[in-house]
Each structure stands twice: as C-alpha cells, then as structure tokens.
Amino acid sequence: MPAKILDGNALSKQLRTQIATNSAILTAKGTKPGLAVVLVGNNPASQIYVRNKIKACHDANIHSELISLSENATQEELLSVIHGLNDNSSIHGILVQLPLPSQIDSHAVLESIDPEKDVDGFHVANAGALMTGKPLFIPCTPYGCMKMLESIDYPIRGARAVIVGASNIVGKPMAMLLLQAGATVTICNSKTKDLSAHTREADILVVATGKPKMILAQMVKPGAVVIDVGINRLPDGKLCGDVDYDEVKYVADWISPVPGGVGPMTITMLLQNTLEAAQHFHQKK
Ligand code: NDP
C-alpha cells in the first residue's frame, strides 16, 4: 500500500479560504493587510516565487506591492527601500526574496526589517523568540510543515523526529517547533556520520538539503511521516524533492509530494503571517 499523501495544495486551499475571509473582515474594519515583496536581480526561480506570492495575496484579499531592484543595486539602495517600507502604514509585512546578489550583505538586510513586519520570521529577534517559545512570526516553511502534521492529527508528543538539513530558514526552526511540540529531535547536516542510522529512527522525517532524491527507501523507517521540503530542477526540467518519492512512498505511511507539498504551504503561511501582522497593527491603532 503506498503512503497517504500530505497534499499541500488541498490543505492550502482550505487555509487560504479562511485567510481571505479574515482579511476581508479586517479590511472592513479599516485595515487591509498589505505585503511588500522586494526582489533584487533577475534570478529566474526567484521571479517565479515572487509572482506566485503576489498572485496568492491577490486571491486572499491582501494588498501587495512588488519592488524590483536591478542586479547591480547597492546595499544602501536596498536598505533605503526597506526603511521606507518600515515606515509605510499600508504595509504590514515585508519579504526580501533570497538569495540576494553577492554585493549585498543578506544578514544586514534581514536585520533592517522591522521585526513586527518580519513575516518571513528571519530577523534575529524573531529567531531568538522562536528559541524561547514565543515567536511573533514563525518562518513560513517550517510553519507549513507543522500545519501538515496538524492536519493529520499526528501525535508529535514523544515521537522521534529527524531533520536532515540545518539551515536558518528551514532546518533549525523546524527542529525548534518539533521540540516545542514534544518530539525528541535530531538535526543532521552534511557532516553527519552514518545518516541512515539517524533517518531510520525517525517517526517524523523532514528533509531540506537541496540534494535531489538523496533519501532512499532503505533510509526510512516503515510507517514514518516523510516531509520533503526540497525543490530541485532536474536536467529534463521537471521538479523533484530531496526524497526518492517513487520508492519511499512504499515504506512511509504519509509523504509530501514535490511539487504540491510544502511549496504551496510556505506561501499559505506567508499569507497567514501577513494577516497576523495586520491584525497586530490594527489592534495598536
Ligand atoms: P541550505 O543550502 O541553506 O541548507 C542545506 C542544509 O542541508 C545544510 O544544513 C547542509 O549541511 C545540509 N545538507 C546538504 N547536503 C547534505 C547531506 N548530504 N546530508 C545531510 N545534510 C546535508 O538550504 P535551504 O534550507 O535553504 O533549502 C533546502 C532545500 O529546500 C532546497 O532544495 C530549497 O530549494 C528548498 N526550499 C523549499 C522551500 C519550500 O517552500 N518548499 C522553502 C525553502 C527552501 P551543512 O549545514 O553541513 O552545510
């Protein structure tokens, strides 16, 4: 029996309907949620992601602004745009699309965003708050993964969770969220010895490495929930995850596909964070 599908499209559709309703309610009260998306340069993947985010805002009754800067933009130009958005009362969320061109210090840019508008949750104030269990915004991708587990009522308390990948935007916050939900968590990185020994222990396996199909069927515990965050483009143009989906689906109980799994959930949680940012703003008016 193949695994059941963690369908990010279906879950997103359900959550986005709720977000659109709540956005319309807040708009009627006088605050239309607003998201600014800042894109620097011509990275084709970034352009697609940004386009999808803008469209999703439109469908969810969220105002959006796209600010595009050239590939040669300076750090000062970008910081000046962000300072303007920090002061703009019709914008409640600011997202700077990563990666940024090499002349720009990404860390300094992310730190320049007002933490109350940091809907990506990448500012150190939000990352620190996540560590202590009281985040203002949860980074969208791990937030989406948690929603997927919630959607199947997965008993996280006491489960063994293994995260493969330890980036600041996915692996580390994912580990924190699972730990806070009561899982026993292991985080693996590229230096981990005998990776399979860890992954085979996992009741919940989350993979975010950017290495196409690196998780093979024999690395997965029978009955596990496998969440594949990776998005990789193969030479034939097709997308695939970091998990060998066609084989692993015969071992796992639940599996998220690529595309149609974590990708749409990430955008959904961006909309949710933007709505929450606007709600905070409205309460303080
Ligand atoms: P990073 O490159 O920032 O981090 C990758 C992590 O994986 C690092 O911690 C690295 O280890 C680890 N890693 C790499 N190779 C191995 C290996 N062979 N064994 C174990 N660990 C390994 O990537 P991101 O976290 O930004 O993204 C990961 C993937 O997720 C990418 O495919 C990206 O496109 C996708 N992604 C998808 C999103 C979505 O919405 N679905 C959102 C964000 C990302 P080390 O620390 O030692 O270098």
pLDDT beneath 70: ranges in the chain: none
From the CA of 115, how far away is ligand 1's center (Å)?
25
**Tell me, what's the pLDDT at 134?**
86
Our answer on whether the CB atom of 119 is closer than 6 Å to any ligand 1 atom is no
Our answer on whether the CB atom of 208 is closer than 6 Å to any ligand 1 atom is yes
DSSP secondary structure string for all residues of 25-38: HHHHTT---EEEEE
53, 117, 147, 172: the active-site residue = 53
**Tell me, what's the pLDDT at 233?**
93
Domain 30-116: which CATH class?
A: alpha beta
117, 118, 120, 279: the active-site residue = 120
Our answer on whether the CB atom of 141 is closer than 6 Å to any ligand 1 atom is yes
Closest residue to atom 42 of ligand 1, CA basis: 141
**Tell me, what's the pLDDT at 135?**
87
Q: pTM for this one?
A: 0.97
CA atoms within 13 A on the CB side of 49: 20
Our answer on whether the CB atom of 43 is closer than 6 Å to any ligand 1 atom is no
CATH 3.40.50.720: which residues of the chain? 140-263
Instruction: Report the distance separating Cα 69 and Cα 108, nearest Å.
Output: 17
**Tell me, what's the pLDDT at 153?**
98
Closest residue to atom 34 of ligand 1, CA basis: 231
**Tell me, what's the pLDDT at 268?**
98
Q: Does 115 sit behind a cis peptide bond, omega within 30 degrees of 0 on the bond before it?
A: no
Q: Residue 235 is encoded by which pair of tokens?
A: 């030479």
Order of all β-strands in the sheet with 34-40: 63-69, 34-40, 93-96
CATH code assigned to 140-263: 3.40.50.720
Burial of 138 (0-12, 13-18, 19+ CB in 10 A): buried
CATH 3.40.50.10860: which residues of the chain? 30-116
The residue among 142, 57, 136 whose CA lies nearest residue 91 is 57
